[in-house]
Amino acid sequence: MTTIYNFSAGPAVLPKEVLRQAADEMLDWQGSGMSVMEMSHRGPEFISIYRAAERDLRELLAVPDNYRILFMQGGGLSQNAVIPMNLVGRKAQPATIDFVRTGSWSSKSIKEAARYANVNVAASAEANGYTAVPPQSEWQLTPGAAYLHLCTNETIDGVEIDFVPEVPADVPIVADMSSHILSRAVDVSKYGLIFGGAQKNIGPAGVTVVIVRDDLIGYALPICPSAFDFKNVAENDSMYNTPPTYGIYIAGLVFRWLKEQGGIAAMERKNIEKARLLYAALDADDFYQNRVAPAFRSRMNVPFYLRDESKNEAFLAGAKARGLLQLKGHKSVGGMRASIYNAMPIEGVQALVDYLNEFAER
């Protein structure tokens, strides 16, 4: 049987060890006689699952004590509304949110936030085709902004921000880390809020992780739904409403798996190796093209194009026959995309590299 490697951008590959454990526990979680999907979210069994997941994530990211970890619903996209409804109330109205536009997802965030506050696009990479992050010296930040919003890894465009911007002390940084959270070391204390949809590097679709500093909680606008008010969610340990219990369970297994791999530092070393291997193959000749400036190339999401795009369908058909799946690029940009998240083994990247070389030679 052909070994399958799934390069989907999300929902994405999960560690095989996690899937096997979930399968083993599907009908009976640790002798409870229940599947996790059947448990009350207020029962002792699920509470223990939740506590372990929260504890392991806090340990993995070295989350300071003055930050709350929230497991919410609605996906990362919903946070584009939830976050302004929770944070702009700290400032006199109308408040202004600063954004750096680096690709498709930050553009979506800008559009949604404009419904709740004034929006200032402090810098935009649109002119360079979303291939590089504008130098911070060119950013036009708003004094006293409610916050600065960044998408630190653009899943579609393959642009990654690997630095923490310098901002005034009273302006928190909000970071959408959906597609590279847990893939590299991050100093949580440099951010006011970090969020990410689970379906890329954490677990199945349906869970959104929010890491928010205590002093930013409690300012929700009156229009904010009570289930999305960070204060309500934090005071009820993410159980103000029924949380996505099975998704939290799988996320907890992934956190435990990451610890077994050596934690974030060990995972980052592996991710650097995988990315170098793939980009080297793409850069070897002019048959393939990655358009992102090398300094801003994502380690997680690698978009690329065949110089002769008439060969796209043949490339995808050959890849599928090799067990290399979900390589078609996002519909908005075309081409190809290989997402090489934590759970993608280096053997999968090597198999893709071998196919890239073989297809180019043919």
pLDDT tens digit sequence for 157-212: 999 999 999 999 999 999 999 999 999 999 999 999 999 999 999 999 999 999 99
Percent of the chain whose pLDDT exceeds 70:
100
Q: Report the pLDDT value the prediction gives residue 2, as an integer from 0 to 100.
A: 75
3-state helix, strand, coil in the chain (%, to 5): 40, 15, 45
Percent of the chain whose pLDDT exceeds 90:
97
Q: Report the pLDDT value the prediction gives residue 75, as an integer from 0 to 100.
A: 86
Clarify whether 176 is annotated catalytic. Answer: yes
Q: What is the dihedral of CA 156, 248, 187, 302, to 10 degrees?
A: -20
Compute and round to an integer the Cα radius of gyration of the chain. Answer: 21
What is the average pLDDT value for the chain, to the nearest integer? 96
CA distance 317 to 55: 44
CA distance 254 to 14: 8
Q: Of 56, 98, 157, 176, which one is the catalytic site residue?
A: 176
Q: Report the pLDDT value the prediction gives residue 93, as an integer from 0 to 100.
A: 86
Query: Closest Cα partner for 155 from 201, 103, 199?
Result: 103
Tens of pLDDT, residues 98-113? 999 999 999 999 999 9
For 276-285, what is the mean pLDDT? 97
Show the tokens assigned to 177: 């880390």
For 16-45, what is the mean pLDDT? 97
- Strand pairing category for 173-176 and 153-154: unpaired
Q: Letter for the amino acid at 176?
A: D
Show the tokens assigned to 249: 């369970």
Clarify whether 200 is annotated catalytic. Answer: yes
Tens of pLDDT, residues 313-341? 999 999 999 999 999 999 989 999 999 99
Q: Of 29, 56, 157, 200, which one is the catalytic site residue?
A: 200
Q: Report the pLDDT value the prediction gives residue 1, as an integer from 0 to 100.
A: 56
Query: Closest Cα partner for 58 from 203, 201, 209?
Result: 209
Q: Report the pLDDT value the prediction gives residue 209, as an integer from 0 to 100.
A: 98
CA distance 214 to 132: 33
CA distance 191 to 174: 6
Q: Of 29, 56, 98, 105, which one is the catalytic site residue?
A: 105
Give 76's pLDDT tier (boundaries 50, 70, 90).
confident
- Strand pairing category for 5-6 and 324-325: parallel
Report which DSSP code applies to 340: -
